[in-house]
Amino acid sequence: MKKYDLKNRSEIADRDKWNLEAMYPDEAKWEEDLSTALKSSEEFILLKGRLTESAEGLLKALRLYADMMRKAENAFVYSRMRHDEDNANTKYTEMNNKSLSTLAQISANVSFFTPELLEADETVIKGYIYEVPALKEFSFMLDSIMLSKPHVLSSDEERIIAQLNESASAPDEIYTMFNDADLSFGKVTNEDAIDVELTHGNYIQFMESENREVRKNAFEAMYQRYKEFNNSISVMYNYSVKHDYIMSKLRKYKSTLDSELSGERIPLSVYDNLIDAVHKNLPSMHKYMEIRKRALGLNELRMYDVYRPIVKPEGLECSYEEAVDIACKALAPLGEDYVRTLRKGLTEDRWVDIYENAGKTSGAYSFGSYDSNPYILMNFSGELRDVFTLIHEAGHSMHSYYTRRTQPFVYGGHSIFTAEVASTVNETLLIHYLLSNAESVDMKKYLINFYIDEFKSTLFRQTMFAEFEKIAHETVENGGSLTAQYLNEEYDKLNTIYYGPSIEHDEFIQYEWSRIPHFYRAYYVYQYATGYSAANAIANRILTGGEAERNDYLKFLATGESDYPIELLKIAGVDMSTEEPVLSALSTFAKLVDELDEMI
């Protein structure tokens, strides 16, 4: 696929698309699963008031609940991924809306489940687990529910909230449709003097251009469009944050942050310590910006200069097939089984939807249901950074693969806190592999610069996003409103603090917050930074250790949600309740900056 092509979905070869037909060869089965799940939820209502009458009755209810949600999940995942293939395809938009609506109905029908469990005597529930061995499968699930006891409302109140779930997701759904289907950025003239449609998928390509005017034009074209819709986007985000706050109040949490972290027993200090640690290490980031300015020979360093590689040697482009080969070689320290399984998934089993097409959801992700392949959406363009994206999402997918073949459905997912670890371990192993195989000084310089930029993007930038989120939520919690002007000003201040004095102030950067879709999932982004820190510690442990360290990590990959995140990461040899992993990662960043300074 040529670098700037943007094809229609029908023009993409089947071999380059994910094999969703494996989920539903006949979409009539999709309708059947959705209908069956809804009917099961109506059957589940009949258990109201009798959930904890006996151990056998509780087991029946839990199994019915799991089977129902398993079918509903499979149907939703399918329609969502079909929708993401082309957001303008009305057939799959309707299917996705139908699955969301059905999920809301199911949620309303089973809303009595948690409140009724919490009304029961906890010692009785524990007694049932000893009485019927089959209930042991659900013991951690039940413990987790009991943890939420102070925050669960009455059955009737929970039902009302469940019925509102569909409309509550409106800001996110509206933003996604606006950002991925309706918003266009026009054409930008590239370094070959060709007018190319600017998209989410090729924006970073423009930012990496050696031609500064190309970078500037793409940057301004992108943010000019967000500026034009600044007020509308601020309203979407304002109501998203208000919903977060209202729900945390209804459930009697101290704050929105408390509501998002306490369910997984993550101390609030983890969030604050991350921000504090990064602030203390900002001088290293500021030094890097000064090195970048000097290396590029610029009198003024602008935000559209921060992605352009300091040096760009030959050999940075690759095909998808070459990317798979590089990824598999880099991941050799994880063992033959891991690599063999991954290679088969990325090629003949067609886990990956590889190339960008018109209307396709931007970015990349790993997704799937308990019963499906661990699919990957990409917008592969043939750059080295795409190898990093592929290996990142492959980390998620292999995490899912190991978990789903080991854990039952109720523990078949991952907490957000642990999910980013597997992906970043893979990235860290890749950069170590590439550095050890660099064939020239320029290539090594490029890779060190690339590694530094990974820290910049994942540890520093995501922490900046996390701080912005905290400011936004605390503003609403204190009775304030998130106007466009306020959001722009707060984001602009943070950007200046994080990037330092070497960056000239730019009018357009204040609108960057409005293109971050993760903000519609409260307090999600900080886990990229914590996950990156944990992953660096684990990868170094694997590379400097032996079979035992590797097996510790593979054991962690198979744990799913069978315990709280902090405890699960201890299996892999990392304690995230302390500052040590974050400080260690920041120390690595500082050393890389010093090494680059010497090379430059």
Instruction: Tell me which residues are annotated as active site.
Output: 393
Residue 162's identity, in one-letter code, is A
Q: Phi first, then psi: give them for residue 365, nearest 5 degrees.
A: -160, 165
Residue 421 sits at the vertex; the CA angle it makes with 416 and 427, to the nearest 5 degrees, is: 135
- Give phi and psi for 280, each to the nearest 5: -65, -25
Answer whether 419's CB lies under 8 Å from 367's CB. no
Q: What is the C-alpha separation between 295 and 212, in angstroms, rounded? A: 14
Asked whether 362 and 381 are in contact (CB, 8 A), the reply is no
Between CA 129 and CA 139 the distance in angstroms is 7
Tokens of 521: 């999932």
Structure tokens that stand for 90 in this block: 């009305």
Residue type, 46: L
CA-CA distances (angstroms) from residue 532 to 68, 300, 393, 548? Answer: 35, 31, 14, 22
Using only C-alpha atoms, the chain has a radius of gyration, in whole angstroms, of 24
Give a three-class secondary structure readout of 563-586: CCHHHHHHHCCCCCCCCHHHHHHH
Contact status, residue 394 vs residue 365, Cβ threshold 8 Å: no
- Distance (Å, rounded) from C-alpha 503 to C-alpha 300? 7
- CB-facing half-sphere around the CA of 162: CA atoms within 13 A: 22
Q: Is 234 helix (H, G, I), strand (E, B) or coil?
A: helix
Sheet holding 352-353, edge to edge: 352-353, 375-377, 365-367
